[in-house]
Structures are given as structure tokens and as C-alpha cells.
Structure 1
Amino acid sequence: MSSVQPGPTVLVPAFRPGAALVQVVADLRAARPDWQVLVVDDGSGAAYDDRFAQVGAAGAQVVTLPVNCGKGAALKAGLAHAAAHRTGSPVVCADADGQHALADIVAVGERLVDDPDARRLVLGTRTFEGPVPVRSRIGNSVTCWLFAAAARTRVPDTQTGLRGIPAGLLAWACGVPGERYEYEMQVLLRAGRSGIALDVLPIATIYLEDNASSHFRPVVDSWRVYAPLLAFLASSLAAFAIDTIALLALQALTGDLLLSVVGARITSAGVNFVVNRRLVFDEEHRIRTRVAAARYAALATALLGLNFLLLSALDASGIALLPAKVLTELALVSTSFAAQRAFVFRAPGALTGGSQRRPTSPTGTSTTVDSTSR
């Protein structure tokens, strides 16, 4: 006899929310009374107690974090709560400002229900048609370009807050690092290397009052979002500089292109491996150094062959060594990132779902549910 799986849980992180949150909850409860709405108060403070009381009265369950921890921490607290208290329920993450249409939130939840065992994230991606704040249009375009360059995956809206997570991936999502806005980018970056597909679902683009309700800080939070992307590009740039200097020096000394390419790559690869392992692809449960090093050596050998072939072809065509080297590295950088993410530094069990341990609150602090400790 098969057990009936619970309906989706709609998770809404909220920090000092406006009245729109109450309407969001009321509309969801009216449209899908069998779904639960879980609101995480991210340390909004006593001044917002009345607002969250209204949210509870509208039909939501409220989890309260004692201090402001950031959107990522609030999301992970909600995911952990859903996994612990609603076993088997997929989670739809939505924003608190009313900028996700009810029909779109429901559509993401229904996509999860249609195939509950699929190893994928459902992304409600905006079309960016109509009036869109300039900072939002530019910010999304830049982020999409950087994400495509780093991950070799095209996502039309990397900054969407409307996301669906199957029940089987909640533990994985709770283990993704990041406490603030960077968490959502980390989820996308780490999905591919964990064998998780990105399922794109177009949604309406809604900005209320030129996005005035957003708590996003353009400088600080943009840096948090871009940092995971820029870390790999910076690591690659450093390796490129070392590789190029060594190549030019060895070529001048030996006159042998193959020997110079091999010697330069051995020099730069050691630096690149250490930096990427510790700073770019760091995980809570890191893969053993010997295993990662063996995988990296295999990848480096393959890339070395490609590097030499491309460089030789460009050199034979009459292009000088330095510009030929630049063109070669630009052609291979995204391939290197994708391979390191998916193969070299893949965490143990990443392709099979990993540990099934119950996720815990990422904040390390107690939370309250409807004003009682959970």
C-alpha cells in the first residue's frame, strides 16, 4: 500500500516585509488549501510582530530566526524545517514582496508534483518584457553572461527567487554554502556538478514600485552574488599568467614548443589545483586530495593535448605565440571549469544524492514555530 505524498510547501523568506506578504499567503491558501505556506521571519524584530501575526492568521506557519541571518540562511532554515516536519513534501521558494504571480507559484509546484522523483530544480525564469528597472535588467544580463561563461550552461534568469526543489534534494540544498544572496547563485553553480538538472519554466516579470521593496544592496550583495563566479575566473587568470610567463621563458630557452607547453602547464597546474580545491570548489565534505589530484592530472593531461594542438595550429597559421596562447586559453577555460566541477572536485555521492541525513538549521541557533520552540 503506497503512502500519499504531501502537497508542496511554499517557503517564503521575509525580512521586514510589507503588507504584500499577507496577501501572498491569503491568495496561496485560497488557491491551494492542501499546500502549506511556511514563512521564515529572518530576524525582522519586534516592530514586525503584528505583521507576522497577520501572516499566521492568513494561514501560514511562521518560523522565526532570532537575528537577521540573510536570505540564504532563512531559506535553509525553512528547507530544514520542511524536511523534518513534512517528509516527502517538495518545496517552492518564493519571494515575500508580491512580485511572483500566484499562477506562476502554483505552476512551479505542479511541475514538481508531476515528476516528484526527478533530479532537477525547477526555475521560474522571468522573461524581462515590459517595464523593468534598469539596475535589474543590467544586473541579470551581466550575471547570466558570467554564469554561462563559468558553468557552460545558459539560464535566462539566474537571479530568480521562484524555485522548486524536490523532497529528495532538500538535504543537498541545505548543504550548499552561503548565508545571504550568494546562496542562490551557489545552488545553480553546484547543481551541475551534483548531477542536478535545471528545469526552466517561464514566468511573468513583475516589479512593484520600481522594486523599491527589495532589501538587496547593490554593491555589497552584488559582490556576494558574483564572488562564486569570479573566484574561478580569477583562479584561471592567475594560472594563465603563470602558464604564459613560463611558456615564453621556456620557449626562449629551448626553442621547443612541445617541451615549453608541457613545462609551463606542469608549473601552472599545481597552483591552479591548490587554489581551486581550497577556494573555488570547497565543500563541507571534501573529496580526498589523492583522488582529486588523480582526477585533476587526468583532466590536465587531456587539456594539455588540446592546448598543444590549438596552439600549434595557431602558430602554424602565422599568429605570434602570445596572442595564440591567449586565444587558446579563452577557448578552453569554460571546458576546464565544467570538467573540474563535474568530475575533479565532485563530492562523494554527488551523482547518487549523497547522504540522506536529516538537514539541520544552518544558523546553529534555535528557531521558533508559531512562537514555540521547535
Structure 2
Amino acid sequence: MNYLSSYAVVVPSLHPVRKHFLPFLEELVRKSPGAVVVIDDGSGEEYRPIFAQAESLGCIVLTHPENKGKGRALKTGLRHCVDQLPHLSGVITADSDGQHAVDDIERVAAELDRLAGAGTPAVVLGSRTFDAADVPPRSRMGNTMTTSVIKALFGRRVSDTQTGLRGLPLGVAARAVDIKGEKFDYEMNQLIWLITIRHQVVEVPIRTIYHDTDNSISHFRPIRDSLWIYFLILRQFLVFIGVSAASAIIDLAAYYVLIDFVFGPGRTTAHVAVAVALARVLSSVVNFVLNRTVVFHDPSAAVPAARRYYLLAVVIMIASSAGTAVLSVLSGGHDMWAKIVCDVVLFCASYAAQQRWVFAKTPPAATAARPAVSMRRR
């Protein structure tokens, strides 16, 4: 059965190596996919003959006059498929550097078909293994770190976070065009987006192919691109920290105004208690609104989320009191350190609970294809 006939294969390319690129495309076209869409991401005049030959093989070649980055190239390809090939079931993205075998692309298509037939339009990742001796150390280390960080922050383990072999149902591809990112950050943004909207992601094993120990064909810049990708992964948690700090400042400022300007010099112990309570209510409302809109971007109704938020706040408060008391005893009376350790742990637990429960998003329904727009072709 030809699973590829229902899918377009999008291949972004910059400065392709002829001996890897053209045989890969020739084999891919021979397998009769719905379409092979190649994006020349500003490779320049020197590479025009290679892309012309790709076109003669039967590929659709789209050209960026100048290099815009892998993310932009992927979005150009996805947009073309969604707008011009709406009869297809989905899109499979693959790299042009020879790291993805055609039979692995077929494997992704087969899994997409199986899931669609079962009524589950999931995204399929072609996942490599990184424990082989010929895997470049930087690739092994980078994937291990990103897998661990994503698991810690988002509660989802993805064994190959950097794979470029991905199968997207057409409705998901239509939405993925609008994800931010122009370079290698786009694929990480796409993965985080899929996790945060709780869309089903399925992994299928593929071969791990590297042409040399340094993976020299890749245009990935190990330090600069890796730092940017880790910032993207941590961005939500960093914003959560910022919102928490802003809420604490509002709490202190509101308490100061109430104590000094509302109740004044004649304040009593009751006034202090009221000021603490009112300041905490105000800061918690601000914290809820900012977490819902700025940190987690929760589009659901506010009232159910607020109920969950304040129930969590009560649990955290009780856990803080009990945990600090227990740690104080265990540490031999170091009350301050017990409080700090307990609250740091609970802060992280609060982030996880808000992300996965308070502001958890429901998986979206499949979306229709976008209206057609013009696209420059070679």
C-alpha cells in the first residue's frame, strides 16, 4: 500500500549537497507521494542547477530570494500545501541533508494513516536513538538536555526533541503556519505548542543517520542556536517567575498604602490584619489574571479556572506551613532555610499544577484549510 500518496513531503533546503540531495529526492518522487515541495531558502545562483534538476524530477520548488531560515522555509512549504493541496490528508516535513531515509518517511505516513483511521489525528514524530557510537556527542548531549528540561517543565517526555521528520494532519499544518520562529527555533516552538495545547503526539522509531562525527552538513550553530532554543523552552517559566515577582511587589505596595495612608498612625492590630488580607486578595487577583493571559494563554472560561486557582492556593498555603514545620525539625531548627527550601519546591509545584490543571487547554478540533494565497514559484 502506498501510504505516501495522501501526503505532501516538505523539504526545506539551504546549500544542498548534490550527492545526498538529488538521490534522496529521486527516490522520494519514485515512491509517489501526493507532492514533494522543496524550498530553496536563498541558496543563491551557484545552487540553481541543483534545484532546477529537483524540479525536473517532479518536485515543486519554491524559492526564497534570500536566506530566511529553516522555520520560514518550513512555513512557506506548509502554507503552500494547505492552500494549494487541500485534497491531501497532511504534510510530512523532512530535512535535506540526508539524515532522513525515504522508508522512514513512509513509516511516518503509515502511522499518520493508522491514527487517522482510528479517529485520532495525531502528529507523528520520527524519533532517532542517540545511544549509538556514531552519534555526534553534541547531538547526544543536546537532545538529552532538551528532553529532560521539557519533561520537567511540561510534564511530557519526547525522546527526540530535535527531529525534523514530522507528520502533521492538514488541519494542524494550517495552524502551525502561524507559530512564531523563523530559524531552528520554529521546530522547538512547534513542539512546545503541540504539548501546551495537549495535542496527541506519537513517536515512531527511525534510523539515526549522520555523515560524519561533526554532522558537518547541518547548518545548525551549536552554541548560538542551542542557547536560543533553551531560552524558548524556559521562556514560559521565566515569565511565570516575573509575574510572581510583580504580584509580590503589588502585595507589598498595597499593604504599605493601606497601613500608612488609609489606616494611618492610629492603626490597630485589626487594621494590620485587614491590610494584609486586602493586599493579598488584590495581588492574587492580579497574579491569576496575568498567569491566565500572559503566562499560560488560557482561552477557556475564567470562572472555572479561578476556582481551581484558589483551591490550589489553599493547598499550597497548607503545604507551606506543614512542610516548613517538618523541614525545620529535620534540619535541627534551621527555620529560615526550611522555609526557603519548602517554598522553592512549592513554587515549582505550583507552576506545574497551573500549567497542567488550572490553565490546562483542551485539544483543539481539526481546523479547515486557510483560503488560498499567492506563492512565488520557480
Give the aligned residue type for 1:216: F
Distance of 1:189 and 1:229 partners within structure 2: 7
Q: Unaligned stretches of 5+ in structure 2?
A: 256-268, 329-337
Distance 1:261 1:172 in 2: 44
Q: In structure 2, how many angstroms separate the alpha carbons of the residues matched to 1:155 and 1:274?
A: 29
Worse overlay, 113-122 or 7-16: 113-122
Instruction: Say whether residues 1:351 and 2:355 are aligned partners.
Output: no
- For the 8 Å contact 1:29–1:35, the answer to whether it is kept is no
Q: By how many angstroms is 1:91 displaced?
A: 0.9
Q: Name the SS of the counterpart of 2:120 in structure 1.
A: coil
TM-score, normalization: structure 1?
0.80
Question: Is the 8 Å Cα contact of residues 80 and 375 (structure 2) preserved in structure 1?
Answer: no
User: Would you say the 8 A contact 1:261–1:308 is kept in 2?
Assistant: no
Q: Residue 108 of structure 1 contacts residue 201 of structure 1 at CA under 8 Å; is this kept in 2?
A: yes
Where in structure 2 are the equivalents of 1:218-297 lying within 5 Å?
218-239=222-243, 267=283, 270=286, 273-274=289-290, 277-278=293-294, 280=295, 287=299, 294=303, 297=306
C-alpha change, 1:293 and 1:48, in structure 2 (3 Å) is same
Instruction: Identify which of structures 1 and 2 has the higher relative contact order when contacts are C-alpha pairs closer than 8 Å and 6+ apart.
Output: 1
Verify: 1:306 aligned to 2:315, yes or no.
yes
> Contact 2:86/2:369 (CA < 8 Å) preserved in 1?
no
Percent identical among aligned pairs is: 34
Asked if residue 143 in structure 1 is aligned to residue 162 in structure 2, the reply is no
Label 1:34 to 1:316 Cα distance change in 2 as closer, same or farther (>3 A): closer
The amino acid that maps onto 2:242 is: A
Aligned to 1:212: 216
Closer/same/farther in 2, CA of residues 179 and 261 from structure 1, 3 Å limit: farther
Match of 2:259 in 1: none
Judging changes above 3 Å, is the alpha-carbon distance between structure 1 residues 262 and 133 closer, same or farther for their aligned structure 2 residues?
Answer: farther
**CA gap 1:269/1:52 in 2 versus in 1, 3 angstroms:** farther
127 and 178 in structure 1: CA distance in 2 versus 1, 3 angstrom threshold:
same
Aligned residue identity for 2:143: N
Rg larger for: 2
CA shift, 1:216, in A, is 1.0
Structure 2 residue aligned with 1:197, among 182, 196, 200? Answer: 200
Deviation at 1:79, TM superposition (A): 0.9
Are 1:167 and 2:170 counterparts? Answer: yes
1: CA distance, partners of 2:162 / 2:66: 25
Distance in structure 2 (CA, Å) of the matches to 1:178 and 1:23: 30
Q: Would you say the 8 A contact 2:38–2:61 is kept in 1?
A: yes
1:302 CA drift (Å): 2.7
CA contact (8 A) 1:239 1:268 kept: no
Q: CA deviation at 1:102?
A: 2.0
Deviates more, 1:223-232 or 1:48-57: 223-232
Matched residue SS, 1:21: helix
Distance in 1 of aligned mates of 2:372 and 2:279: 47
1:98 paired to 2:116: no
Give yes or no for contact 1:40–1:64 (8 Å, CA) kept in 2.
yes
Give me the CA root mean square deviation.
3.4
AA in 2 matched with 1:134: P
- What is the distance in 2 between the residues matched to 1:174 and 1:40? 15
TM-score, normalised via structure 2 length: 0.80
Question: Are the counterparts in 2 of residues 144 and 156 from structure 1 also a CA contact under 8 Å?
Answer: yes
Q: Is the 8 A contact 1:129 1:205 kept in 2?
A: no
Q: Give the aligned length.
A: 346
**Is the partner of 1:317 in helix, strand or coil?**
helix
- Judge which range, 172-181 or 261-270, deviates more: 261-270
* CA pair 99-340 structure 1, distance change in 2 beyond 3 A: farther
Q: Per-residue displacement from partner, 1:114-137 (whole Å, max 9, x unpaired)?
A: 233533110011111312111111
Q: Following the alignment from structure 1 to structure 2, what is the Cα–Cα distance between the partners of residues 240 and 281?
A: 13
Query: 2:360 matched to which residue of 1?
Result: 342
What does the per-residue CA deviation read over 1:124-179, in whole Å, with 9 as the maximum and x for residues that have no partner? 11111312111111111111112112211110111100000012222111122222
What is the CA–CA distance in structure 2 between the aligned matches of 1:127 and 1:261, rounded to whole Å? Answer: 54
CA distance in 2, matches of 1:122, 1:352: 17
Instruction: State whether residues 244 and 287 of structure 2, in contact with CA within 8 Å, keep that contact through their aligned partners in structure 1.
Output: no
CA distance in 2: counterparts of 1:314 and 1:151, whole angstroms:
24
Residues 153 and 341 from structure 1, CA distance in 2 versus in 1: closer, same or farther, beyond 3 angstroms? farther
Corresponding position of 1:132: 135
SS class of match (2:98)? coil
